[in-house]
C-alpha cells in the first residue's frame, strides 16, 4: 500500500518526521552518536542480544508454545502485542536434520491462528506444517513436524499463517527464527566454529503502546528492529570472521541491507547452502527472505549496518534509509581467514534444473486491483485447489507480475531454482523459497514436487497482499496406479493414510541425487568423519 500521491524524497522524509512526531512523542537526535528515528520512544545502543533459544536434544525439540496477548519490551518500551512465549521475536528454535518437533501449541488469543515452518521440506498435512489448518481461539493443539534427515542446514523461520489476519498477527509479534544446524561443516576448516549471530529484522508499527491490529499501512512510518532492539551494538574484532543469519521477519516491508566497511560473502540462502558463493555489498530481503553471510571485521572503528532507501515500485512502498545496528570493531586484529569466494560446492550440491526433463509447464500471473490481490485472476479460496501436481514431477513455472509493485513469490514445501528473471538467465547458485517478482516482469522457476503429497499454498509474502487474496493452493497427488512410471521412480502407495497425523502424507524417500537435484552428500561428519565432507573452500 502506498500514499495516494507520489511525493518527492524530501517531502516524504518530512512527512514521515511529522507523522512520527504525531504518532508518539519521540524521537529525535539527541546529539550523542546516531539516534535512529523511531515511531515510539526507544532505548538505543544496547548490547546486541538474540532471542531466547530452544535447542533440540536426543532428536526431539519439545516445545510448549504459548501464543498470548501480552506486553513485551521492544527497545526498552513496553508494547502490547501478540507473542510466542512472551517475547516480540519468538524463541529461536535450534534443530538438526532428522529431528522431530513436538509442539504443544496453546492458542490463548481471542482469535484463531496457526503456524508455518517457512522453508521446511516437511509434510504440509495433518498436524504438521499445515497452514490450511485453523487452531481456534483459546484451544490447545499438538503440532508435530518430522524434519527429514537430509534437510539442508541453514536459516528458516516460523510465523502465523492465519489467512485474513496473518499481517496483523505477524506484525504484532508472531514470528521467530529456526536454525537447522550444520551449515558450518561446509566452510573451510579454519572457519568452523566462528561466532554466529541471528539477526532477525522486523519492523513494528505501534500506537499508544500497542501494536496496530487493523488498517495497517505498510508504507506508514515504522520502527526497524534487530532482535527486538533498536540500533544495538554488534561487537567484532578487526579481521574476525562472523556468520550472520539475516532474516526478514516483517509482515510487509523490505530490507536492502548494507554493512559499511564490510562485504557479505553469501554462503546460504533460504536455508540452502549456496553452490556458488557470491560477494555482495547490498542484499535485498523481501519479507520472508534469509541470507547467511560471512563478514570480516573492518579496521578498528564504528560502522553502521543499514537498510538503504528502497522503493517497491510505482504502486508500492517507499522506505527511507535507516540504521539497523552499530558495528563496533575493536580489540586485537586477528589473522584473517581465507573466505570462500568463487569456489563451488561439489556437483552434488549444485542445483541442476537446467538439464532436468520438465514434466509440465504452468503460467502464473500476479495482479491487483485497488486493495484486492489476485493469482491467475482469482483471490484465495481455502476450499479450492488451483494447481494439481503429480508427485515427483519437475515443473517449470513462468510467473508474471502484472502490477506496479514488486511481490515476493513464496511456495511451501519444495524449494525452487530461479532459471531467469525478465528473460535473462540466472546462473545456478542455490535453491530458494522466496524470490521477488519485478514490476511488470517475469520470473521462471523450476522445482520438483518431491516427497510429500497434500495441499499447500504459494503466495505473495507481503502478508497484506496474502490476506487480501494473493494466495493459491497446490495439491500434490500420487500418480495413478497404472500410470507409466519413469525409470528410477519408486513405487508409491496408492492412497495416503488418513489426514490426522503428521505422517499422513505419502513420503517418497529420496534415493538418488537425481531425485532432488540438490541433496546433501551421503557422507556426513557425524557418521563418516569430517574429512569426507565437501566444503566451500574446496576447489
Give residues in contact with Cu ion (CB under 5 A).
Answer: 407, 460, 462, 465
**Which of these, 24, 156, 166, lies nearest to 82 by C-alpha position?**
166
The separation between CA 413 and the C-alpha centre of its own chain, rounded to angstroms, equals 13
Residue in this structure with the C-alpha cell 487493523, named with its chain if needed: 214
Closest contact distance (angstroms) between CB of 488 and Cu ion is 38
Max CA distance (Å), the chain: 75
Closest contact distance (angstroms) between CB of 386 and Cu ion is 17
CB-nearer residue toward Cu ion: 27 or 131: 131
Closest contact distance (angstroms) between CB of 378 and Cu ion is 15
CB-nearer residue toward Cu ion: 1 or 131: 1
Strands 290-296 and 241-248: antiparallel
Determine the Cα–Cα distance for residues 504 and 278; give it in Å rounded to an integer: 39
Here the cell at position 78 is 513496553
CB-nearer residue toward Cu ion: 245 or 465: 465
Contact between residue 283 and residue 264 where contact means Cβ atoms under 8 Å apart: yes
Closest contact distance (angstroms) between CB of 296 and Cu ion is 35
Closest contact distance (angstroms) between CB of 515 and Cu ion is 32
CB-nearer residue toward Cu ion: 53 or 378: 378
Closest contact distance (angstroms) between CB of 174 and Cu ion is 19
**Which of these, 135, 2, 133, 13, lies nearest to 65 by C-alpha position?**
135
Determine the Cα–Cα distance for residues 129 and 451; give it in Å rounded to an integer: 14
Determine the Cα–Cα distance for residues 432 and 414; give it in Å rounded to an integer: 9
CB-nearer residue toward Cu ion: 290 or 407: 407
Strands 77-84 and 60-74: antiparallel
Name the helix (H) or strand (E) containing 416.
strand 416-421
Phi, psi torsion values for 383, nearest 5 degrees: -100, 5
Closest contact distance (angstroms) between CB of 405 and Cu ion is 7
- Give me the residues paired with residue 477 across strands: 390
Q: Would you call 342 exposed, middle or buried from its count of C-beta atoms within 10 A (0-12, 13-18, 19+)?
A: exposed
Closest contact distance (angstroms) between CB of 316 and Cu ion is 9
Angstrom distances, CA of residue 513 to CA of 180, 390, 420, 517, 535: 21, 20, 23, 6, 18
Closest contact distance (angstroms) between CB of 428 and Cu ion is 26
Closest contact distance (angstroms) between CB of 365 and Cu ion is 13
CB-nearer residue toward Cu ion: 224 or 465: 465
Residue in this structure with the C-alpha cell 573492518, named with its chain if needed: 298
Determine the Cα–Cα distance for residues 429 and 449; give it in Å rounded to an integer: 20
Determine the Cα–Cα distance for residues 70 and 36; give it in Å rounded to an integer: 26
For residue 153, the 8-state DSSP code is P
Contact between residue 459 and residue 410 where contact means Cβ atoms under 8 Å apart: yes
CB-nearer residue toward Cu ion: 265 or 412: 412
Closest contact distance (angstroms) between CB of 312 and Cu ion is 9
Angstrom distances, CA of residue 381 to CA of 130, 167, 385, 413, 466: 15, 18, 8, 19, 11
Closest contact distance (angstroms) between CB of 434 and Cu ion is 12
CB-nearer residue toward Cu ion: 266 or 460: 460
Closest contact distance (angstroms) between CB of 134 and Cu ion is 23
CB-nearer residue toward Cu ion: 284 or 462: 462
CB-nearer residue toward Cu ion: 407 or 448: 407
Closest contact distance (angstroms) between CB of 536 and Cu ion is 33
Q: Would you call 504 exposed, middle or buried from its count of C-beta atoms within 10 A (0-12, 13-18, 19+)?
A: buried
CB-nearer residue toward Cu ion: 165 or 462: 462
Instruction: Dump the DSSP string for 292-340.
Output: EEEEE--SSEEEEEEE--EE--TTS-EE--EEEEEEEE-SSPPPPP---
CB-nearer residue toward Cu ion: 290 or 465: 465
Phi, psi torsion values for 293, nearest 5 degrees: -130, 145
Q: Would you call 192 exposed, middle or buried from its count of C-beta atoms within 10 A (0-12, 13-18, 19+)?
A: middle
CB-nearer residue toward Cu ion: 418 or 471: 471
Q: To the nearest 5 percent, what fractions of the chain are helix, strand and coil?
A: 10, 40, 50
CB-nearer residue toward Cu ion: 322 or 407: 407
Amino acid at each position: 500500500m502506498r500514499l495516494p500521491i507520489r511525493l518527492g524524497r524530501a517531502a516524504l522524509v518530512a512527512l514521515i518526521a511529522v507523522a512520527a512526531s504525531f504518532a508518539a512523542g519521540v524521537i529525535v537526535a539527541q546529539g550523542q552518536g546516531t539516534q535512529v528515528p523511531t515511531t515510539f520512544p526507544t532505548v538505543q545502543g544496547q548490547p546486541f542480544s538474540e532471542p531466547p533459544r530452544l535447542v533440540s536434544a536426543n532428536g526431539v525439540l519439545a516445545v510448549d508454545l504459548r501464543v498470548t496477548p501480552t506486553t513485551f519490551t521492544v527497545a526498552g518500551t513496553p508494547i502490547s502485542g501478540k507473542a510466542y512465549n512472551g517475547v516480540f521475536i519468538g524463541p529461536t528454535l535450534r534443530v538438526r536434520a532428522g529431528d522431530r518437533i513436538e509442539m504443544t501449541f496453546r492458542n490463548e488469543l481471542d482469535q484463531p491462528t496457526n503456524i508455518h515452518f517457512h522453508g521446511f521440506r516437511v509434510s504440509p498435512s495433518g498436524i504438521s506444517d499445515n497452514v490450511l489448518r485453523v487452531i481456534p481461539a483459546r484451544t490447545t493443539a499438538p503440532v508435530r513436524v518430522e524434519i527429514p534427515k537430509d534437510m539442508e542446514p541453514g536459516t528458516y523461520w516460523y510465523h502465523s499463517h492465519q489467512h485474513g489476519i496473518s499481517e496483523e498477527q505477524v506484525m504484532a509479534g508472531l514470528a521467530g527464527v529456526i536454525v537447522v544446524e550444520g551449515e558450518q561443516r561446509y566452510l573451510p576448516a579454519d572457519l568452523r566454529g566462528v561466532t554466529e549471530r541471528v539477526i532477525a529484522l522486523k519492523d513494528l508499527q505501534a500506537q499508544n503502546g500497542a501494536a496496530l491490529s487493523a488498517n495497517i499501512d505498510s508504507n506508514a512510518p515504522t520502527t526497524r528492529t534487530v532482535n527486538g532492539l533498536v540500533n544495538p551494538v554488534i561487537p567484532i574484532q578487526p579481521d574476525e570472521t562472523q556468520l550472520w543469519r539475516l532474516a526478514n521477519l516483517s509482515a510487509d516491508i523490505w530490507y536492502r541491507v548494507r554493512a559499511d566497511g564490510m562485504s557479505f560473502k553469501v554462503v546460504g540462502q533460504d536455508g540452502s547452502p549456496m553452490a556458488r558463493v557470491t560477494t555482495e555489498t547490498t542484499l535485498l530481503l523481501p519479507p520472508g527472505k534469509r541470507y547467511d553471510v560471512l563478514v570480516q571485521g573492518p579496521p578498528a572503528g564504528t560502522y553502521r549496518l543499514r537498510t538503504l532507501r528502497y522503493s517497491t515500485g510505482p504502486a508500492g512502498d517507499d522506505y527511507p534509509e535507516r540504521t539497523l545496528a552499530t558495528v563496533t570493531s575493536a580489540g586485537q586484529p586477528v589473522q584473517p581467514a581465507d573466505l570462500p569466494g568463487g569456489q563451488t560446492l561439489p556437483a552434488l550440491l549444485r542445483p541442476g534444473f537446467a538439464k532436468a526433463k520438465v514434466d509440465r509447464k504452468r503460467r502464473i500471473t500476479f495482479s491487483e486491483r485497488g486493495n484486492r490481490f489476485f493469482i491467475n485472476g482469482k483471490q484465495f479460496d481455502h476450499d479450492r485447489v488451483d494447481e494439481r501436481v503429480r508427485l515427483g514431477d519437475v515443473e517449470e513455472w513462468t510467473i508474471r507480475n502484472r502490477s506496479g509493485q514488486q511481490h515476493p513469490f513464496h511456495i511451501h514445501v519444495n524449494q525452487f531454482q530461479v532459471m531467469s528473471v525478465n528473460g535473462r538467465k540466472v546462473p545456478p547458485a542455490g535453491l530458494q523459497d522466496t524470490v521477488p517478482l519485478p514490476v511488470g516482469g517475469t520470473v521462471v522457476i523450476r522445482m520438483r514436487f518431491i516427497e510429500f503429497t497434500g495441499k499447500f499454498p504459494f503466495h505473495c509474502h507481503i502478508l497484506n497482499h496474502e490476506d487480501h487474496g494473493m494466495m493459491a493452493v497446490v495439491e500434490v497427488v500420487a500418480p495413478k496406479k497404472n500410470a507409466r512410471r519413469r525409470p528410477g521412480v519408486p513405487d508409491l502407495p496408492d492412497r495416503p493414510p488418513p489426514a490426522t497425523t503428521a505422517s499422513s502424507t505419502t513420503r517418497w524417500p529420496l534415493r538418488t541425487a537425481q531425485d532432488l537435484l540438490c541433496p546433501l552428500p551421503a557422507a556426513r561428519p557425524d557418521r563418516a568423519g569430517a574429512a569426507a565432507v565437501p566444503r566451500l573452500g574446496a576447489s
